[in-house]
Structure 1
Amino acid sequence: MKTSKKLLDKKNLIGILGSLTFCSALGISTNAAALDVVIILDTTGSTGALLPNWQANMEASIINPIKAVDPNARFALISHLDFPFSPYGVTGEYAYRVESPLNSNIAPLLTALSSLTSGSGGDTKESQLEAIYQANTGLGLDLNGNGSYTDTGDILPAPLGFNPLTNSFTIHFTSPLDYHNDPLEPNYPYTGVVNNPADYNDALAALAANNNTYFALTPNPLLATGSSTALDFSGSSAGAALTLDSTSTAERLAAATGGEVLGVGSDLSGVEEAMEEIIDIVRPCPPGEIPVELPIGVACVPEAS
C-alpha cells in the first residue's frame, strides 16, 4: 500500500489529539480525504478504436471500483492525440486537452467522455509525456514563445486542482510504450520550436510533485524483449508476470513512481483485473478504514458500521 502524502499513524494521531470527537469539539475540520485520479486516454489510431469500449464501460470498470475503496475520490479526464504538425499529427489534432477537471461528481466526466472522438496521431509515438506533464502542472505550452498560448499546437494553462494533502494516481491508456521526446527531440514538433514539449525528466518531476503514481494500460501484447516484468490481464494468462523492454518510457515512469504497466487486451477484457492490481497499490487505507483529512495531515480511521 502506498503511503499517503501526510498520512498520520492512527496511534500517534490519537496520542496528539485524543480522538476525532475531540477535534470536532474544538471546531477542527475532519473532512473526508480523497484520492485524486487522472484518467488519460490516448485516442490516436493505435488505441482510438477502443474508445467506444471506454465510453460504454469506464464508469463500471474504472470509476466504480475506485469509489468502492474511496467514496470521495475525485476524477479528471484527459485526452491526447499529438501535435498537429506532420509527421506527428494532422490539422486539428492536439497534444493535450482537459475534458473534465478533478471532481467527485463524475457526471461532467461521463458527458465529456461520450463526446470524444478518435484521431490519427500521425507516426507511432505520441505526445504522452506532454500530456502527463500538463495534467500534473497545468502550466500550458507556448511553442513559439510569443506569450499567446493560442497558436497552432499551443496548450492553454489549465490546472486540474490537485489536493496537496492527498495522494494521486494516473491511469494512462496508451500504445506504444515508448513516447515522443524520450530522449529529447530538439525539433519536435517542428523545426525551430522555441519552447520544447516535456521530456521524460519533466514528466517524472511533475508526477513526483503531486505524489502521483503512474499506471499505463496497454491493449497490445506484451513482448518478451527485456528484463523487467509487468502484469498481463489480456487473456487466459491473467496475472502472469511477463517480460518487457525495461527501457520503454512507460515502464520507467511506472517503476520510478511505484506504478505498473498492465496489459488489458485488445478488447479491454482485462481492465477489471488490472484495476484490482492498481487499487491494491493505491488504496489510501486498509480495508475497513477510511481516510480523514485533518489540518495537519490525513489519518485512517475505522469506517462507520
Structure 2
Amino acid sequence: MAIAFVQMSFLVSHLKRGNFEKLMDVNHIPLPVVRRLCCLPEQMQACLQRSAIRLAVQICRKAHVGRAAKQRIQRYALMLSRNSKSTDRLPDRPMNDSFCTHNIISSDTSNLPPYSGKLQEYWMAGNGVFLRSHRPELEVCLAIARCTVGNLPQIKPYFRLVPSKVPASTISEIIQICLEAGEREVLFYLSYTNQWQLHVPAQTASRTSVAATESSFNSTYETALIEIHSHAGAPACFSTQDDIEESGKFRIFAVIGSLPEKPSICVRLGVYDRFFDIPISWIFTL
C-alpha cells in the first residue's frame, strides 16, 4: 500500500504538469492508458480531481488490490488533487493538447472533414458545441452544450453503431446469469468480431460491487465495446462509484437491475470524461 501511495503521488505530480511522456517512459504506462487518463489537458485545472481518481483506479486494477485498499487510494488521490502545492499548479497559459482538437465549423456540416486522429474533437457550430470521436465499431458526434452562435452553420448530431444491435438472445443469457448469481453483482463484456461475443471475466463480487480480477491488458476488457454490470434487485441506474470506475473509457455502458421481478436496463455512452444517456433501442434488440 505504501508503494502504491508513493506511485500515486509521483503520477499525479506529473499529471498536473502535463508531463505525459514522463508518465509513459518512467512508469511504463501504455499510451492508450495515458490517453484515457489525460484526455483533456486543456481543462486539467477543472478535471484534475477526476483525473487523479482515474489514476488511482488504474493503479488498483494493475495491482489487483482489494476494495478497501482501492477506496483508500481514491481518497488519497482526492486529497492530492485538493491540496496541491503552488509549485505543482498548472501555469495560466494554453497547454499543447496531444489528444484533442478544437474547431470552428465554417462550411457545410453535411460533409465534416475526416477524423483528425485525435481521441476527441470539439466543434463549435451555430447550434452549440459538439464532441466527435470514433473507434472501429462506433462513430459519434453529440452536443455537450446547446447555444446559438451567429453566422455559423449547424451540426446535425449522430450516433453510428457499425455492428448490428445486440440480439435479444444475448440479453436473455445475461439476465439468466444475473439471476443465477442471486444478490451478487455480475460483470460482462461484449465485443464484436463478425458477431457479438459475450465474455464473463474472472471477477470478485458482492451485493454492492463487482470487479474483474484478470489483468486489463491484452484481455477481453481491452476489446470490449459494451461493458455491462448488474445491480441485482436494486434499480438499474448508474452510481457515483460507477461514474468513477467508468471514466476514461470510450465505450457503451449498461446496468441491469430490478431483478428478478421486473428486469430493467439503463444505457449510456462514455466518451472518456463525458457520459451521454442514450436510448436502449440504439444498442439492444428487446
Q: What TM-score, normalized to structure 1?
A: 0.23
Higher-strand-fraction structure: 2
Higher-helix-fraction structure: 2
Task: Give the structure, 1 or 2, with the largest relative contact order (CA under 8 Å, sep 6 or more).
Answer: 1
